[in-house]
Amino acid sequence: MSLPRVLVTSCRELLTLAPRVPFGHEHSREPRRPGRVALVGGALMVLSLGLWALWTYLNRRDMWHMLDLSVYHDAVHRLRDGDRIYTENYGKWELPFIYPPISGLLFYIVLPLGFAGLKWFMACLSLLSLFAVVWASWGMLGYRRGAGRFGVSAATFAVVLWLEPVEWTLVWGQINLLLLALIVLDLALPDDRRYKGIGVGVAAGLKLTPAIFVVYLLITRRFRAAAVASGAFVGTVLVGLVAAPSASAYYWANLVSISGKVNSKLSVGTLNNQSVQGMFTRMLGDGGPAKGLWLLLCLVIGALGLLAAARASLYGNELVGVVITGGLSLFVSPISWSHHWVWVVPVFVLLTHTALTRARPLWWWLTGAFFAFFAAWPMRLNVLGDWDGTQTLQPWGLIWLAPRDGDRERHWTPLEFVLGNGYLFAGIVLTLILVLRILRDRGPLPTLPAQAAESAPATATPDSPAPDPVSGGSGRR
């Protein structure tokens, strides 16, 4: 079947309002010898955390500064002063605060901890969020709660802790892992939970880009969860208006200009911005052609990606749908700093699951290559990307080997161009592979039996489960 016919057929399937097969009650997987897996996984997690703590302590000047957290900490002191929170700059690098007022309110609550206590609080919260994401991701793949799932999750945590986006989230004191946990934990809930959608809505309230998951819930026919998410988002806006009316009114009235303030401090075209707009800005400069190509490519990738994500979810492959949508949020956002790419964590879980279920060496090689490319390697690089033996060992990713800043991105060689856009290219390639495989699989979508469709019980099962688009196994076990 040609691709145009595939797209037309897929759209016709998604436009129907037929009840979907509920997600969230099929948990039958468990590793062999769960007790031993739990023991080994727990030991690996403790060892990994110990190595991270030691490295952070030895290089605490460069690994424990949390400069972005200092922006949040300093900015919330202005929360009661109306628009001043958005018109001034904060922290050592004098950066603007660009998040919605509800984000400032959350940091305002923990101000009594002081900046030193806030650093510990944020580090612990981020690490707990990382484990929660891994735990929920394995659950979305059908692994039942228990010692075995804990062991697999702990072992995975020990590995993904060393991914570059995770490391720099911890170094900068960013909220990326918290947002990721809110989304993944929420979407891992069974569809019959009345409060499903709250996590997505709160995440969108804290930072607007997770709002794409409201669209994801809508096109996967989970209208109640989409309504709950929308309500939770509106709730965050209302809380901000009540607690900080002047700041909230200024933020929502000047949203575009506030978001654009980042470009005055950090160029959209810098290597660190691994978004589609970042790539075109590096190629063509910050002008009309770059934005036009950005909008066009985002439209094509976004439409194909959401279509494939919806079909994956309707087949019961929820984690596949979630990671595709998460990838889209990175592609289409004007700014996706490298530490925003924490979506590589559930992708790594998905690849590891595929390697385990397919039992082919190729999948293990692909999983290893994925980790190696996104890993944080201890290197001595200066701010321009040059090797400097006087620098301390910091967790740089391979993309950072390309020359950067000082407009050096405009003069990259072809190899440097590929390396410098590495996260974006790797993400797009993986997404397109999934999209083409999902859309070209023309097996019938799972449907509810006629009697079950009337009441749509949460325990209903599909008549003919379709194969997992990655692992080749059933998406409903």
Q: Dump pLDDT digits (tens) for 323-346.
A: 999 999 999 998 999 999 999 999
396, 164 contact by CB (below 8 A): yes
The count of other CB atoms within 10 Å of the CB of residue 371 is 17
Rounded CA Rg of the chain: 22
pLDDT at res. 284: 84
For residue 454, pLDDT beyond 70 = no
pLDDT at res. 1: 55
Percent of the chain scoring above 70 in pLDDT: 89
Per the structure block, which two tokens stand in for 474? 């059933």
Is the full-model pTM beyond 0.85?
yes
pLDDT at res. 260: 78
Per the structure block, which two tokens stand in for 41? 């996984």
Query: Is residue 327 in a domain?
Result: yes
> Hunting for tokens 């208006």 — which residue is that?
241
250, 227 contact by CB (below 8 A): no
Query: Is residue 451 in a domain?
Result: no
Query: 293 lies in which domain range?
Result: 266-445+463-477
pLDDT at res. 460: 44
The count of other CB atoms within 10 Å of the CB of residue 176 is 23
For residue 237, pLDDT beyond 80 = yes
Which band of pLDDT confidence, cut at 50, 70 and 90, is reported for residue 463?
A: very low
For residue 249, pLDDT beyond 80 = yes
Q: What is the mean pLDDT of residues 79-99?
A: 84
The Cα 143–Cα 319 span in angstroms is 12
Which band of pLDDT confidence, cut at 50, 70 and 90, is reported for residue 268?
A: confident
Count of structural domains, the chain: 1
The Cα 431–Cα 337 span in angstroms is 19
Q: Cα angle vertex 332, ends 300, 421, to 5°? A: 100
Query: Could you give the C-alpha distances from 257 to 45, 55, 96, 418, in angstroms and in order?
Result: 43, 39, 12, 31
134, 41 contact by CB (below 8 A): no
Q: What is the mean pLDDT of residues 198-205?
A: 97
According to DSSP, residue 392 is labeled P
Query: Is residue 287 in a domain?
Result: yes
pLDDT at res. 451: 46
The Cα 290–Cα 118 span in angstroms is 39
Condensed to tens digits (0 to 9), the pLDDT of residues 347-362 reads 999 999 999 988 788 9
Query: Is residue 11 in a domain?
Result: no
Mean pLDDT (the chain, rounded): 88
Condensed to tens digits (0 to 9), the pLDDT of residues 143-163 reads 999 999 999 999 999 999 999
The contacts of residue 124 (CB under 8 Å, 6+ apart) are: none
The Cα 182–Cα 126 span in angstroms is 12
Query: Is residue 100 in a domain?
Result: no
Query: Is residue 68 in a domain?
Result: no
Query: Is residue 413 in a domain?
Result: yes
Q: How far is CA 409 from the centre of its chain?
A: 26
Strand partners, 394: 379
Q: What is the mean pLDDT of residues 115-121?
A: 96
Q: What is the mean pLDDT of residues 259-276?
A: 83
446, 10 contact by CB (below 8 A): no
135, 29 contact by CB (below 8 A): no
User: Over the range 5-21, which residues count as b (16 or more CB within 10 Å of their CB) and which as e?
Assistant: ebeeebeeebeeeeebb
User: Residue 384: what are its φ and ψ, rounded to 5°?
Assistant: -95, 0
Which element (helix H / strand E) includes 95? strand 95-96
Strand partners, 377: 396
Which element (helix H / strand E) includes 378? strand 377-379
User: Residue 385: what are its φ and ψ, rounded to 5°?
Assistant: 90, 10
pLDDT at res. 448: 65
pLDDT at res. 464: 45
Query: Is residue 190 in a domain?
Result: no
